[in-house]
Structures are given as C-alpha cells and as structure tokens.
C-alpha cells in the first residue's frame, strides 16, 4: 500500500503528482456531483438533523460503556454458539485470526470488505502465514490484485479507469480484455470469485453493528458477496472494532436509516444481513459453522475516554466526509488519508496508525466545513483535525517557524498592526499604482502566482474612521453597533468598511469602530495555535464590549463564525471570559443577516448587471446563513445568475493557500470556471478572504468579471456615497 510521507515537503510533492492525474480529478469531481444529487434525493422530505441526532444518541450512549456492551455481546453470542475474542492491538487481532485458521486447518480464505481488516493489514499477515486470501467485493478484489489499499471507504477502486481495470484483468485471465466490454469484465470477476467462494474454508467479514443484547452482527452491503463469505465456508470470522457495539437493534436501525442514504444516496442498501451465533452449515462439524467474533481495541477504549476526541468514534463509515471534500475530490484517497481516508481519516490515522503517518496529512485541510455539514454523526471534523495537529506539535515539542512568529506577533496588537502598515511600504515599489500585485518577486515559489495579490491600503480603515462616521440621521440612535473589521477589511480593503458606514449613515444607528480590536484569531486556530487564539479572543472581547452594544457587525464571514463558535469553546473553562465570550457570540452578526434583518433594504426596480454569488464556507455552513445574501442581491436589483457549486469553497482557507498553493489554485480554478460559464459580469460574496482569492484568480485569468463584497455592491446600487 502507498505510504504517507511525514515530511511536509515530500507530501506536497506527492500531492503535486496527484494533481497531474486529470482522470482522477475528473472522476472524483463527477462522482461528487452525482453523489450530491442522489444524497439530496434520498433525504428529500426528511429532516437530516433529526436523523443525525438519533445517530449521535445511539453512538454516545454506547461509547460511554463499551466494555459493558462487550461483555453483554459476548454472553449472548457465546450462548448462541459463537466464540468471542478481544484483541488489544492490530497485531493481536491478526494473530488470533491466523491461529483460528491454523487450528481449523484452513488453506483458503474469502473476505468481504472491512475497513477494520485494512486497519490491521490483515491480508498481509494471512498471506505471510501461507494462507490464500481473496477479496470478494469487486472494488476490493481489483485493488488487491494491484497490491494497493482502498482510495475510498465505500468505493475502494474509485481511482481507477476501466482501461486500467481491463489491463489488470487481461493479466489475470491471460486474455486481452476490451475496456468497453464491461459485461465481459464482470463475467471474468464472477467466474474467478465463484471459484474462490466454493473452494474457501474460511470467510472473513467485518460488521457494521454488534448488537449487545442479542449477540448479533449486522452487515450492510450492496454486492451480496458478504452473504456468501459469511454462509458458504465452514468457518466464519468477523473482525469488528469495539466502536461498532450498540445496546440493541433499535439503535442499529436508527443508524441504518441514515447510512445508505449518506453513503451512496440509496434509500436502503441491497443487503442487510443479521447473524446471531453459529448457524447451520453442511460443511461444518456436526452441521454447524465455526463462528468467531474478534473485537479490536487498537486505541478505541482510550479514545472513548478522551474528552477532546471521543466523538470521532461515532463515525459510521459512510464515507461522506470524503465525497464532498474539495481536496479529496482533487487528489483522491491515497493522498488524503493513510488507511482511513477523507476528513475522518486525517483524525483516525493519528490514533490508529501513529503520529508519523498523520503528521503531514493534518495540515491539509481548508477548514471549509463541507465534511462537518454532511456527517450524520455530527463530528466536528475540521476542529478535530486542527486538534490532532496541535497534539502532534505538542508531542514533538517543536513548532514551525511561522507558528513561532505568529505566537510572538499576534498577541501584541500594536506590533502586529505596525507590521501590516509597513507591508504597504514594502509592496508599493513592486505594485506601482496598480491595485493588485500581478508578479511576485523571484524569491517567491512560482506556485503562488495563481492569483494576483492585493496591495495593502495606504491608510487603513482605523485611520479613516473619524472622518467617515459622521452621523447624518437626526434624533437619538435606536441601536448601538460596533463594527469588527478583521485584518483584511481594516488593512487591505478599507473600502468595504466605508461601504458599511455609508449604508448606515442616514439610519438611527450609532456605528463605532473600537480601536483596540485586533485579528479575530482564526489564523492562529487554523495553525493549531490555541493559546494564541485564546489571547486575541480575550483582547477582542474587551475591545468590542458586547454588553454595551446591540450588535457587533462584521463583513468577514470567517471572523463572525470564529467569534460565534470558536470564542465560547476556546474560553469555556474561564470563569470571567467564558460568559463574556458567550455574550459576544450572541451579538456578532454577519453583514448579509444584518442588512436583511436590521437595514431592511427596499427592493430596487432597475435591473443591474448579471451577478454571480459565491457563498463563503463560514457563512453558509459555519453560520448557516444561506438565503439572506441571495435575497439581498435580488433586493438590490442585481440580475442574479445562480451558478453550480455556489457553496463549494473557493480554495482560500487563509494560511492554507500559502501552504498548499497548488491545491488552492485548482480549487479556485473550478470555482472560476463555473462563474465564467454563467456569463456574469459581477461576482459578489460576503467575506474579504474570498474577495482576495476570487479577485486575484480572475485577474490572473485576464477575466473581465469584477469581484465585490456585497456591501460595496449594495452601496453602488443604492447610490450611496462612501
Ligand atoms: S466521519 Fe461522519 S461523514 Fe465521515 S465517514 Fe464517519 S460518519 Fe461518515
Ligand atoms: S474542512 Fe473541508 S477541506 Fe477540511 S477535511 Fe473537511 S471538507 Fe476537507
């Protein structure tokens, strides 16, 4: 199987090579499109969050008493004639299974798909013990013949073309296979696999559920091979993670309501098999099958007790967190996981396959929240990925230089702001009078040239504020609003802040710009620098004084989302700051929601330019704000042109686009192609980070599409002066 480099540079080279595989990128992108549609159809008329709640309840209730459930399962399964084993490690599980095979005189084994067996590298172990093992799931058989691991938890051979499969099958059969003759290839697989089923002495399966109160295993499959694996041979061994234990059938059914829908967009999979104990078997001793259930711990019991990470064990292995991940959709599972792939793979790799294999992987996340939104177990995957990253850095006792610098500079607001202001002086000679820096100096990695960079403003918003905020409305203000700029609005795009001031100028609103505010701290959280993130959170709470304001308004969806969700979590254990963080979280508001709810913008009749919209990840998924910006676009009289994948990430991700420019560029390219296809003249969004990425990318493409923050577009449409 492919190795996961621990060295970030080597990992980046591996990713670059994967990006060169256009078939892979296209296949995964097509799959993501088709999956999104069938998933939506499967859940139509159902409340996903209610179904997910039931999954969480079932899993959480089990995780708090795994060993009690194990004892209960063992009692009932053994009463029904099965033998139950507990393996502390992957090696122990493999040894138990090969011992069972040896004692039963087994020579040939058939296997159905099991991620737990992939986790223990069971096939390698059994083959080393001179046993013949045949994978019988079609995708697993294909990758077994290629001697590689799965690239997806549900669709293990998704990375291969039929041409590649035809070449492989030609080698296996010794006759040339036609890639267009799918029926011929299926017939070959059926012939080979039937022979293996009939000759096998032992079947090895996994299980989706282990029901404690009856000692029953539950298997959810589509190909029917698992039924043959578990029924035909005289010995059956199920290798099951301890996390699959559930108290009763009802809990399993709650998961089953979601699993096929979320995995493949099916209402129900083709087969759901329930096995209790040792069943009749003509080939077995005394007409009974020899049945073993091997439970695997391999860190699960410790994980279940870890307050920071236990939710990762709720995973039901639906694979959805890979399906809609913009990075997985470009580079595939062999480059985005170790054995377990996708978002959950980034986390589990650390716990099941060690720090070395997880080290480089965990920094490859855009924090776009797409995985979290589709996870039926409601695992906060992006947050846990950052937490694993932080833990790895803590364990290694070293931090990259950029982290060390950030931790030094960010807590010191004056120093940080001085550096930002000086950046203008450094950039000015390079940019001249142009608003964008099109060519980077030579010492920059050319991979960063995929977008033009904005020039830092000569005068930041804070220096313009006094002149700006002249209240024009008569009478006493009815609302007090503090504006939180965030680094980009304050120092790079002050015109966005000016636009808000113009929109509010004739309203009975007192708008202030607290000068002690600083970076929201999201960049620190993204770099797994929690301590720094905490320091700046406290500084901002003090500066923004939520008790004294009705709203704290921000133009940056990422800042808003971080303040609303991140601050209370970061400061939860602090007596003074915890409640204040909650208070600020309740007052922070993104621009679109504020404009819809508070400003109540009247509809404009004249039709403006054709306008596409990009939904920032932290707005649509982080804050759950979906309709407000689209309603605003229409109220402003802009000619709204919806595009495909409006809610897919633009590839910015703050420091991510600096660390992984090739991936950021490719994610952006897909987004901009959709925008250009729509024929829009204007692209609006409500996050300055997205403005930076989209504007810079369009500029490099020589596009005529203009990019604006929604606040600027509104000011123009409403004829307000900034
Ligand atoms: S983490 Fe969630 S989305 Fe990903 S495989 Fe597990 S249950 Fe599915
Ligand atoms: S947050 Fe986005 S980039 Fe990160 S793992 Fe989830 S889907 Fe992938």
- Of the pLDDT bands very low, low, confident and very high (cuts 50, 70, 90), residue 470 is low
Tell me the pLDDT of the chain averaged across its residues. 94
Q: Is 344 in the pocket of ligand 1 (CB under 6 A)?
A: yes
Q: Is 535 in a helix, a strand, or coil?
A: helix
Predicted pLDDT at 478: 87
Q: Is the domain of 589 the same as that of 606? A: no
Question: Does residue 271 sit within a domain?
Answer: yes
Task: Give me ligand 1 centre to Cα 265, in Å.
Answer: 14
pLDDT digits (tens, 9 = 90+) for 636-674: 999 999 998 999 999 999 889 999 999 999 999 999 999
Q: Lowest mean pLDDT: which of 150-164, 196-210, 244-258, 574-588?
A: 150-164
Range of the domain at 93: 64-301
Q: Tell me: pLDDT of 404 over 70.
A: yes
Q: How, if at all, do strands 209-211 and 216-221 pair?
A: antiparallel
- Tokens of residue 658, six digits: 């600096």
Which region, left, alpha or beta, applies to residue 277 given φ > 0 means left and ψ of -120 to 50 means alpha? left
In a domain, 618, yes or no: yes
- CB of 331 closer than 8 Å to CB of 19: yes
Residue 286 lies in a domain: yes
- State how many domains the chain has: 3
pLDDT band at 428 (very low <50, low <70, confident <90, very high): confident
Give mean pLDDT, residues 247-270: 95
Q: Is 664 in the pocket of ligand 2 (CB under 6 A)?
A: no
Starting from the edge strand earliest in sequence, which strands make up the sheet with 216-221, in order? 245-246, 209-211, 216-221, 271-276
Query: Which of 244, 266, 301 marks a domain boundary?
Result: 301
Tell me, using a 6 A CB cutoff, whether residue 317 lines ligand 1. yes
Q: Give the burial class of 572: count Cβ atoms within 10 A of its Cβ; 0-12 exposed, 13-18 middle, 19 or more buried.
A: exposed
In a domain, 59, yes or no: no
Say yes or no: CB of residue 212 within 6 Å of ligand 2.
no
| Residue 372 alpha carbon to ligand 2 centre in Å | 8
Residue 255 domain-assigned?
yes
- 593: tokens are 């929601």
Domain boundary at 286, 301, 316, which?
301
Does residue 200 register a pLDDT over 70?
yes
Q: Are residues 211 and 236 in the same domain?
A: yes
- Rounded CA separation 65/151 (Å): 32
Q: How far apart are CA 284 and CA 201, in angstroms?
A: 10
Atom of ligand 1 nearest to the CA of 318: 8
- How far apart CA 263 and CA 152 sit, in angstroms, is 11
Residue 649 CA: nearest ligand 2 atom is 2
Residues comprising the chain, all counted: 722
> CA angle 641-645-648, nearest 5°?
125
**Is residue 327 lining ligand 2, measured as CB closer than 6 Å?**
yes
Domain C-terminal end among 301, 316, 334: 301
Predicted confidence band of residue 426 (pLDDT cuts 50, 70, 90): confident
Distance CA 251, CA 214 (A): 13
- Does any ligand 1 atom lie closer than 6 A to the CB of residue 379? yes
Q: What is the pLDDT of residues 364-399, one digit of tens each?
A: 999 999 999 999 999 999 999 999 999 999 999 988
| Cα 153 to Cα 114: distance, rounded to the nearest angstrom | 9
Tell me if 270 is assigned to some domain. yes
DSSP 717: H
Regarding the beta carbon of 346 and ligand 1, being less than 6 Å apart is answered no
Nearest CA to ligand 2 atom 5: 343
Q: Name the residue of 116, 241, 261, 317 whose CB sits within 8 Å of the most ligand 1 atoms, as the mutation to test its pocket.
A: 317
Judge if the beta carbon of residue 368 lies within 6 A of ligand 2.
yes
Q: Is 112 near ligand 2, meaning CB less than 6 Å away? A: no
The ligand 2 atom at the shortest distance from the C-alpha of residue 653 is 3
pLDDT in tens, 583-619: 999 999 999 999 999 988 877 777 889 999 999 999 9
Residue 134 φ then ψ, to 5°: -125, 125
689 and 708 in a single domain? The answer is: yes
Note whether 173 and 188 are within 8 A (CB): yes
Q: Please indicate whether residue 708, judged by its CB atom, sits closer than 6 Å to ligand 2.
A: no
Please determine, for residue 164, whether its predicted confidence score (pLDDT) is greater than 60.
yes
Distance, in Å, from the CA atom of 246 to the CA atom of 65, rounded to the nearest integer, reads 10
Q: Name residue 437's beta-bridge partners.
A: 453
Does residue 605 share a domain with residue 474? no
Task: State in Å: Cα 60 to ligand 1 middle.
Answer: 15
Pick from 59, 375, 383 the residue to mutate for probing ligand 1's pocket: most ligand atoms within 8 Å of its CB: 375
What average pLDDT score do residues 249-271 get? 95
Taking alpha carbons only, the member of 270, 261, 272 closest to residue 230 is 272
What is the per-residue pLDDT for 721? 66
Nearest residue by C-alpha to atom 6 in ligand 2: 371
pLDDT at position 656 is: 93
| Confidence bin at 442 (pLDDT 50/70/90) | low
Residue 1 pLDDT > 60: no
Q: Are residues 556 and 633 in the same domain?
A: no
Residue nearest to atom 7 of ligand 1 (CA): 315
Task: Answer for the pair 323, 374: CB distance below 8 angstroms, yes or no.
Answer: yes
Same-domain check for residues 462 and 490 = yes
346: nearest Cα among 328, 333, 329, 358: 358
Question: Do 643 and 572 belong to one domain?
Answer: no
Coil, strand or helix at 238: strand
Closest Cα to atom 2 of ligand 1: 375
- Per residue in 473-484, pLDDT (tens digit) is 567 788 999 999
CB atoms within 10 A of CB 372: 19
Tell which atom from ligand 1 comes closest to the C-alpha of 55: 7
pLDDT score, position 471: 58
pTM of the model: 0.94
**Do both 520 and 610 map to the same domain?**
no
Taking the CA of residue 382 as reference, the ligand 2 atom at the shortest distance is 1
| Interhelix angle 138-145/162-173, nearest 10 degrees | 70
Residues 592, 618 within the same domain: no
Half-sphere exposure of 238 (CA within 13 A, CB side): 32
Over residues 543-566, the mean pLDDT reads 97
Same domain, yes or no: 129 and 260: yes
The band of 424, judged by pLDDT with boundaries at 50, 70 and 90, is confident
pLDDT digits (tens, 9 = 90+) for 167-196: 999 998 899 999 999 999 999 999 999 999
Distance 28 CA to ligand 2 centre (A): 15
pLDDT per residue as tens digits for the range 478-514? 899 999 999 999 999 999 999 999 999 888 999 999 9
In a domain, 464, yes or no: yes
Q: Pick the range with the lowest mean pLDDT from 78-87, 279-288, 540-549, 587-596.
A: 279-288
Cα angle 528, 358, 221; round to 5: 115
Give me the pLDDT at residue 472, please: 62
The rounded Å distance from CA 30 to ligand 2 centre is 18
Q: Phi and psi of 452, rounded to 5°?
A: -75, 145
pLDDT of residue 239: 98
* Centroid of ligand 2 to alpha carbon of 485 (angstroms): 26
Residue of 332, 381, 387 best suited for mutating to test ligand 2, as the one with most atoms within 8 Å of CB: 381
* pLDDT of res. 383: 96
Please name which of 279, 267, 264, 191 lies closest in space to residue 233, comparing C-alpha atoms: 279
What spatial distance separates the first Cα and last Cα of the chain, rounded to whole Å? 59
Binding site membership of 315 for ligand 1 (Cβ less than 6 Å): yes
602 burial via Cβ count (<10 Å: 0-12, 13-18, 19+) = exposed
| Predicted local confidence at residue 437, as pLDDT | 81
Ligand nearest to the CA of 315: 1
137 with 165: CB under 8 angstroms?
no
- CATH value at residue 135: 3.40.50.10420
Q: How far does CA 603 lie from the centroid of its chain?
A: 37
Shared domain for 107 and 164, answered yes or no, is yes
Domain check: are 259 and 227 in the same one? yes
Per-residue model confidence (pLDDT) at position 122: 98
Q: How confident is the model at residue 2 (pLDDT cuts 50, 70, 90)?
A: low
Is residue 394 situated within a structural domain?
Answer: no
323 lines ligand 2 (CB under 6 A): no
Closest CA to 346 of 667, 11, 689: 11
CATH code (residue 684): 3.40.50
């Amino acid at each position: 199987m492919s190795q996961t480099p621990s060295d970030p540079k080597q990992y980046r080279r591996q990713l670059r090579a994967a990006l060169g595989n256009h078939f892979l990128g296209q296949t995964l992108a097509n799959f993501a499109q088709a999956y999104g549609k069938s998933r939506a159809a499967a859940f139509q008329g159902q409340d996903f969050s209610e179904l997910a709640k039931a999954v969480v309840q079932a899993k959480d209730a089990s995780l708090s008493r795994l060993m009690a459930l194990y004892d209960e399962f063992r009692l009932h399964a053994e009463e029904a004639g099965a033998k139950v084993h507990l393996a502390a490690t992957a090696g122990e599980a493999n040894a138990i299974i090969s011992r069972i095979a040896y004692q039963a005189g087994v020579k040939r084994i058939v296997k159905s798909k099991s991620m737990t067996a992939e986790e223990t590298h069971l096939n390698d172990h059994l083959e080393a013990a001179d046993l013949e093992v045949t994978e019988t799931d079609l995708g697993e058989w294909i990758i077994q013949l290629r001697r590689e691991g799965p690239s997806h938890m549900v669709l293990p051979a998704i990375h291969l073309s039929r041409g590649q499969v035809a070449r492989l099958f030609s080698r296996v059969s010794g006759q040339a296979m036609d890639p267009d003759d799918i029926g011929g290839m299926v017939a070959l697989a059926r012939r080979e696999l039937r022979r293996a089923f009939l000759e096998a002495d032992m079947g090895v399966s996994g299980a989706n559920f282990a029901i404690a109160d009856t000692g029953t295993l539950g298997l959810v499959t589509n190909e029917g091979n698992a039924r043959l694996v578990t029924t035909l041979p005289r010995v059956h061994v199920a290798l099951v993670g301890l996390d699959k234990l559930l108290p009763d059938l009802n809990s399993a059914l709650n998961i089953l309501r979601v699993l096929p829908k979320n995995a493949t967009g099916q209402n129900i999979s083709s087969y759901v098999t329930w096995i209790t104990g040792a069943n009749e078997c003509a080939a077995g001793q005394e007409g009974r099958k020899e049945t073993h259930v091997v439970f695997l711990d391999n860190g699960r019991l410790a994980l279940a007790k870890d307050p920071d990470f236990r939710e990762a064990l709720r995973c039901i292995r639906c694979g959805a967190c890979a399906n809609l991940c913009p990075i997985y959709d470009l580079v595939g599972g062999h480059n985005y996981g170790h054995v377990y792939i996708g978002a959950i793979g980034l986390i589990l790799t650390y716990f099941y396959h060690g720090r070395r294999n997880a080290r480089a992987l965990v920094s490859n996340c855009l924090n776009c929240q797409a995985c979290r939104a589709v996870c039926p177990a409601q695992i906060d995957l992006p947050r846990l990925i950052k937490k694993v990253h932080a833990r790895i850095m803590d364990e290694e006792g070293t931090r990259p230089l950029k982290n060390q610098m950030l931790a030094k500079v960010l807590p010191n607001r004056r120093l940080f702001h001085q550096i930002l202001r000086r950046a203008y002086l450094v950039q000015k000679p390079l940019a001249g009078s142009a608003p964008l820096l099109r060519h980077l100096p030579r010492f920059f990695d050319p991979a960063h040239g995929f977008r033009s960079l904005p020039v830092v403003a000569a005068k930041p918003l804070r220096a313009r504020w006094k002149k700006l905020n002249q209240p024009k409305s008569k009478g006493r203000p009815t609302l007090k609003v503090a504006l939180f700029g965030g680094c980009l609005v304050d120092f790079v795009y002050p015109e966005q802040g000016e636009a808000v001031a113009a929109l509010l100028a004739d309203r009975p609103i007192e708008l202030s710009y607290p000068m002690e505010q600083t970076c929201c701290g999201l960049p620190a959280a993204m770099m797994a620098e929690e301590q720094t993130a905490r320091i700046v959170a406290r500084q901002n709470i003090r500066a923004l004084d939520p008790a004294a304001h009705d709203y704290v308004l921000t133009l940056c969806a990422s800042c808003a989302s971080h303040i609303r969700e991140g601050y209370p979590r970061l400061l939860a254990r602090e007596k003074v700051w915890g409640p204040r963080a909650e208070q600020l979280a309740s007052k922070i508001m993104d621009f679109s929601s504020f404009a819809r709810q508070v400003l109540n913008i009247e509809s404009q009749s004249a039709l403006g330019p054709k306008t596409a919209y990009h939904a920032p990840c932290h707005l649509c998924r982080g804050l759950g704000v979906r309709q407000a910006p689209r309603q605003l676009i229409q109220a402003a009289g802009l000619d709204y042109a919806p595009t495909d994948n409006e809610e897919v990430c633009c590839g910015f991700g703050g420091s991510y686009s600096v660390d992984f420019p090739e991936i950021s560029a490719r994610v952006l390219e897909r987004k901009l192609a959709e925008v250009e296809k729509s024929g829009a003249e204007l692209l609006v969004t409500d996050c300055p980070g997205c403005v930076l990425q989209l504007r810079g990318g369009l500029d490099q493409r020589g596009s005529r599409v203009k990019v604006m923050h929604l606040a600027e577009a509104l000011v123009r449409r409403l004829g307000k002066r900034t």
